[in-house]
Amino acid sequence: MTSGIGAGPRTVVLVSGSGTNLQAIIDAVAAGSLAVELVAVLSDKPEAFGLERARRAGIPDIAVGYNTFAQRADAEHALAARLASLEPDIVVLAGFMRILPASVVEAHTGRMLNIHPSLLPKFRGLHTYRRALEAGETWHGSTVHFVTPELDAGPALIQYRVRIAPDDTEDSLAARVQQGEYRIYPRAIDWVATGRARLTDAGAELDGAILAAPVIEDELPA
């Protein structure tokens, strides 16, 4: 069985892109504030910079290049097999831009987290910054939630909120929201790793109480 960095539940991170959230997770493990063992980073894109971040940190990196398969179902099967072979306790989606088959999600119920750049249930899906600006929202942010088969709809644990400024652009808003993602995602993963957070039939639970709403962390004034 592979081994990576850190100590705690075996955790696999799935990435498709630059992996700045992955980096925050790696840094939290290295700093001792996130109690997981990062056993592998898995990507659907061999060129994802997140895989390079894994290599630099001494974490096994695995690519299942979706584009090398004739059928998407074959790629999904290959990814599911690699993931299963790693025997993860926790699966972290960190900018993973594929929809996982329901069977993969269900195999990790309560042990799979995602971070989505909106204040869910608002703006599920893509282009969340543009849509929030176009809608004239006052607040935007990011949500860490348990993954369920319905896209971006699983019970939320924590949200980072920023107030939208009149001169905000998609880029300026994204930059501020992402700074908050690096704070809330390692924290939420640690809650799951240490058993503080669980998924129950009644929703997400933290420290023994069902969350009627996610924990909210607001951006500090500049």
Which residues have CB under 8 Å from 177's CB, separation 6+? 117, 129, 140, 141, 142, 160, 162
Query: What gap in Å lies between CA 128 and CA 122, rounded to an integer?
Result: 9
> Which residue spans within the chain are E strands per DSSP?
10-15, 37-43, 61-63, 90-93, 112-116, 139-146, 156-163, 197-200, 203-206, 209-210, 215-218
Q: Known catalytic residue: 140?
A: no
Tokens representing 64 are: 């299942």
In the complex, the smallest distance separating the C-beta of residue 200 from ligand GRF, rounded to whole angstroms, is: 25
In the complex, the smallest distance separating the C-beta of residue 201 from ligand GRF, rounded to whole angstroms, is: 26
In the complex, the smallest distance separating the C-beta of residue 23 from ligand GRF, rounded to whole angstroms, is: 8
Q: Which of 108, 116, 140, 145 is catalytic?
A: 116
Interacting residues with ligand GRF (CB under 6 A): 15, 17-22, 94-95, 115-117, 142, 178, 181
Catalytic residues: 116
